[in-house]
């Protein structure tokens, strides 16, 4: 009796621990790699951030001095402001256009597959390559964009060559490039919607705008929030197109946090200070994603 | 939702056209610049259609630069980084999906969230210390930061979607967990492996930031080479556009050919590199 109980207990034990334990060897190799190239560098960054360290010199412990210096550094403060400005616009436009595009591509029409593929090409293309083409299009004298603007009677712009218009110009490229990702995430949400509410609404004589506003939008809201979080994070850490098109210029007019970090680390080789920037940058990104995700938990679309 | 009548249809067609025309215009302009001669490229008002189209720009790219060398670097880096990521990431995706270890998955997501530059500073110093700068190894290793999370993330989704009964039947018949993975789950997840492979390859191929920091004169990948060599050593637009076209053409062709797989992978994962 007690023997059978023991066996049953042992079986129950293996049953419960079965799924938790048996699969871990599959994760170990990737886990070790993630530790070596992601976690360990992070610890190293934290340590470096409390040292004064230029490449070629010995690191010297300075405590929180890098952080104190950072918060009094007006170049850093401006970089934060520019990042917020850039991110706000580079989230707003792709979100609005991406949701509209998802609604369009959710319908059936001839050549839908081809149109969708063309629509996602900007996000798949090599960012440096398209950024170079945009740079040529932005040229104030010879660029095709100013020709198009003036030929329909609008004033020419200096695009990325002017301190005022450079960030909106970069937002334009970012919107062109990343609206497709918002579209795909929201489209995935639309594809999983049930059909019944629409049929009921149609019987009640609802217009298509009413159906969109009161059925579609609330149901795809979780997907919209996911797209919003992903877009915000990507906009905060945008690098390639800014680096190629304006490299933070003219002057420092488009120097966002990521460009400032690059300059500090790999133009001035000021590794300790750059590590402190990295830590603050990381905390900022984490805070923003947490706030957005908790917004997802608390609010449902009304 | 049905559209009402002809005006609705025309309006809808116009809005679809408005959505895709920015993409079409930029890529057409890239083609136009690449196939025009230098006089037409700097003409104002601009010449839109190359007449006659010329291959001089492409000739200039191949003759004046080590284009094949950089292309070879890119091929080695992207294939190795993708291969290693599949080797490590497919079993990891299986393990995480089956043990429902959402914390491990969240850890992987940290790689997706953090800026690429933040790994680069410590890794750059470690590679210098190990004397690896000037080889392709550091670039391949840093590309794993992009490719491994993509593969793990896509594979978790696919393995979660597989029916558990088949593997359990194999386990009951006395197969080891490894055999259940190798001979039951893996063949079923082959479409997922294809998706993971394509996305990981594309985002590795497109990556710029790791190469721009780590690559020396001979270890540049294509995006870095196009930025560094061409923009500084020759300012003419034709060869620059031709080089940009050559760099991004493999990715664009892959997207056109495999659009179903790519859309499936991107929708599931919200994947992006760097």
Give the model's pLDDT for residue B4. 63
A140: closest chain B residue by CA:
B44
Q: pLDDT digit string (tens) for A17-32?
A: 444 457 888 888 888 8
Residue A44 C-alpha, separation from nearest chain B C-alpha, in angstroms: 6
What number is the average pLDDT over the span A269-295?
A: 87
B15: closest chain A residue by CA:
A104
A202: closest chain B residue by CA:
B1
Tokens representing residue A275 in the block = 């590590």
Q: How far apart are CA B271 and CA B264, in angstroms?
A: 11
Out of A176, A230, A262, name the one closest to residue B117 (CB). A262
**Interchain proximity A27–B19, CB inside 8 Å:** no
**Interchain proximity B20–A115, CB inside 8 Å:** yes
Give the model's pLDDT for residue B234. 55
Task: Assess whether pLDDT exceeds 90 at residue A39.
Answer: no
User: Crossing angle for the helix pair A271-298 and A257-266, nearest 10 degrees?
Assistant: 160
**Burial level of B187, CB count in 10 A (0-12/13-18/19+)?**
exposed
Q: Is A194 helix (H, G, I), strand (E, B) or coil?
A: coil
More confident residue, A39 or A184: A184
Segments forming the whole domain that contains residue A210: 71-298
Give the model's pLDDT for residue B273. 45
Q: How far apart are CA B180 and CA B185, in angstroms?
A: 6
8 A C-beta contact, residue A285 and residue B115: yes
**Interchain proximity A45–B121, CB inside 8 Å:** yes
**Interchain proximity A27–B96, CB inside 8 Å:** yes
Tokens representing residue A191 in the block = 């594809």
In 3D space, the residue among A92, A235, A121 whose CA is nearest the CA of residue A180 turns out to be A121
**Interchain proximity B247–A128, CB inside 8 Å:** yes
**CA dist A190 → A42, A78, A164 (Å):** 38, 40, 38
Please list, in sequence order, all residues whose beta carbon lies within 8 angstroms of the beta carbon of residue B88, skipping any fewer than 6 positions away.
Answer: A29, A30, A33, B148, B151
B225: closest chain A residue by CA:
A128
**Interchain proximity B274–A126, CB inside 8 Å:** no
Tokens representing residue B239 in the block = 């060869």
> Sign of the CA dihedral B255, B259, B264, B268?
positive
Residues of B in contact with A270 (CB under 8 A): none
Residue A58 forms part of a structural domain: no
Q: How far apart are CA A91 and CA B122, in angstroms?
A: 30
Out of A34, A126, A133, name the one closest to residue B26 (CB). A133
| B123 close to A (CB below 8 A) | yes
A129: closest chain B residue by CA:
B244
Number of Cβ pairs < 8 A linking chain A and chain B: 263
Out of B12, B89, B224, name the one closest to residue A30 (CB). B89
Give the model's pLDDT for residue B77. 96
Q: How far apart are CA A218 and CA A116, in angstroms?
A: 24
8 A C-beta contact, residue B211 and residue B23: no
Q: Where are the alpha helices (DSSP H) in B114-236?
A: 116-130, 137-161, 164-172, 177-179, 186-188, 190-206, 209-214, 222-225, 231-233
Residue A47 forms part of a structural domain: no
A81: number of Cβ within 10 Å: 12
Give the model's pLDDT for residue A12. 46
Give the model's pLDDT for residue B173. 84
Give the model's pLDDT for residue B262. 85
Instruction: Name the pLDDT band for A256 (thresholds 50, 70, 90).
Output: very high
User: Crossing angle for the helix pair B116-130 and A40-48, nearest 10 degrees?
Assistant: 90
CATH number at residue A268: 1.10.3720.10
Residue A202 forms part of a structural domain: yes
**Interchain proximity B121–A181, CB inside 8 Å:** no
Q: pLDDT digit string (tens) for B232-274?
A: 555 688 888 999 999 999 999 999 998 888 888 777 655 554 4
- Quote the ipTM score: 0.89
Task: Assess whether pLDDT exceeds 90 at residue A257.
Answer: yes
Give the model's pLDDT for residue A15. 45
What number is the average pLDDT over the span A117-125?
A: 94
Residues of B in contact with A49 (CB under 8 A): none
**Interchain proximity A227–B19, CB inside 8 Å:** no
Give the model's pLDDT for residue A182. 93
Residue A14 forms part of a structural domain: no
8 A C-beta contact, residue A196 and residue A204: no
| B253 close to A (CB below 8 A) | no
Residue A101 forms part of a structural domain: yes
Residue A302 C-alpha, separation from nearest chain B C-alpha, in angstroms: 22
Give the model's pLDDT for residue A238. 92
Question: What residues of chain B score a pLDDT lower than 50?
Answer: 1, 273-274
**CA dist A43 → A50, A278, B148, B158, B246 (Å):** 12, 12, 20, 32, 40
Residues 47-86 of B with CB under 8 A from A: none
A198: closest chain B residue by CA:
B1
- Tally of structural domains, chain A: 1
Out of B13, B104, B267, name the one closest to residue A184 (CB). B267
| B266 close to A (CB below 8 A) | yes
Kindly list the domain boundaries of chain B, sorted by start residue: 27-269
Give the model's pLDDT for residue A296. 64
**Interchain proximity A126–B256, CB inside 8 Å:** no
Phi-psi region of A248 (alpha: psi -120 to 50; beta: other; left: phi over 0): left
Residue A143 C-alpha, separation from nearest chain B C-alpha, in angstroms: 8
8 A C-beta contact, residue B54 and residue B35: yes
What number is the average pLDDT over the span A222-227?
A: 87
A226-253 b/e with 16+ CB inside 10 Å = b? bbbbbbbbbbbbbbbbbbbbbebbeebb
Give the model's pLDDT for residue B269. 56
Instruction: Name the pLDDT band for A301 (thresholds 50, 70, 90).
Output: low
CA B49, chain centre distance (Å):
30
Residue A13 forms part of a structural domain: no
Which CATH class for the B27-269 domain? mainly alpha
Average pLDDT score over chain A: 86
Tokens representing residue A71 in the block = 């918060």
**Interchain proximity A132–B226, CB inside 8 Å:** yes
**Burial level of B77, CB count in 10 A (0-12/13-18/19+)?**
buried
Give the model's pLDDT for residue A38. 82
Give the model's pLDDT for residue A41. 87
Residues of B in contact with A37 (CB under 8 A): 119, 123, 141-142, 144-145
**Interchain proximity B145–A37, CB inside 8 Å:** yes
**Interchain proximity B248–A125, CB inside 8 Å:** yes
Residues of B in contact with A44 (CB under 8 A): 122, 125-126
């Amino acid at each position: 009796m007690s023997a059978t109980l023991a066996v049953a207990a042992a079986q129950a034990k293996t049953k419960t621990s079965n799924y938790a334990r048996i699969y871990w060897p599959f994760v170990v190799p990737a886990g070790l790699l993630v530790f070596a190239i992601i976690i360990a560098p992070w610890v190293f960054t934290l340590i470096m951030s409390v040292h004064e360290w230029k490449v070629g010199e010995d690191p010297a412990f300075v405590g929180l001095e890098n952080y104190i210096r950072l918060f009094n550094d007006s170049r850093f403060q401006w970089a934060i402001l520019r990042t917020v400005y850039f991110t706000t616009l580079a989230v707003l436009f792709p979100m609005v256009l991406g949701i509209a595009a998802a609604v369009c591509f959710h319908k059936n029409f001839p050549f839908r597959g081809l149109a969708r593929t063309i629509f996602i090409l900007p996000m798949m293309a090599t960012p440096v390559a398209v950024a170079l083409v945009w740079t040529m299009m932005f040229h104030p004298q010879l660029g095709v964009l100013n020709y198009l603007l003036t030929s329909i009677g609008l004033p020419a712009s200096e695009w990325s060559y002017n301190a005022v218009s450079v960030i909106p110009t970069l937002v334009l490229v970012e919107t062109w490039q990343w609206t497709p990702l918002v579209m795909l995430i929201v489209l995935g949400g639309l594809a999983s919607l049930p059909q019944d509410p629409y049929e009921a609404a149609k019987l009640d004589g609802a217009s298509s705008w009413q159906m969109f506003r009161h059925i579609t939008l609330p149901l795809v809201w979780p997907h919209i929030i996911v797209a919003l979080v992903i877009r915000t994070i990507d906009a905060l850490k945008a690098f390639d197109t800014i680096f190629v098109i304006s490299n933070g210029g003219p002057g420092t007019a488009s120097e966002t946090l990521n460009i400032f970090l690059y300059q500090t680390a790999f133009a001035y080789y000021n590794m300790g200070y750059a590590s402190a920037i990295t830590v603050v940058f990381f905390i900022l990104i984490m805070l923003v994603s947490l706030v957005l995700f908790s917004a997802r938990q608390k609010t449902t679309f009304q | 939702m049905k559209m009402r009548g002809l005006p609705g249809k025309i309006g809808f067609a116009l809005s679809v056209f408005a959505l895709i025309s920015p993409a079409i215009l930029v890529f057409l302009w890239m083609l136009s610049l690449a196939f025009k001669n230098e006089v037409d490229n700097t003409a104002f008002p601009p010449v839109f259609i190359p007449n006659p189209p010329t291959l001089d720009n492409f000739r200039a790219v191949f003759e004046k630069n080590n284009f094949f060398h950089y292309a070879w670097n890119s091929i080695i880096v992207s294939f190795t980084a993708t291969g290693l990521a599949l080797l490590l990431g497919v079993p990891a995706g299986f393990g995480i999906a089956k043990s429902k270890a959402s914390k491990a998955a969240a850890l992987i997501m940290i790689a997706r969230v953090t800026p690429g530059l933040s790994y680069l500073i410590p890794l750059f110093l470690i590679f210098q210390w190990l004397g690896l700068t000037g080889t392709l190894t550091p670039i391949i290793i840093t590309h794993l930061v992009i490719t491994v999370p993509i593969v793990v993330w896509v594979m978790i989704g696919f393995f979660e979607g597989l029916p558990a009964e088949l593997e359990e039947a194999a386990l009951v018949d006395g197969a080891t967990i490894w055999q259940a993975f190798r001979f039951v789950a893996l063949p079923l997840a082959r479409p997922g492996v294809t998706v993971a492979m394509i996305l990981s390859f594309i985002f590795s191929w497109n990556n710029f930031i790791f190469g721009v920091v780590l690559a020396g004169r001979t270890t540049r990948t294509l995006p870095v080479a196009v930025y560094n060599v061409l923009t500084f050593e020759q300012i003419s637009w034709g060869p620059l556009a031709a080089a940009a076209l050559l760099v991004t053409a493999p990715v664009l062709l892959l997207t056109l050919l495999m659009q179903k797989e790519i859309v499936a992978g991107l929708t599931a994962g919200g994947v992006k590199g760097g």
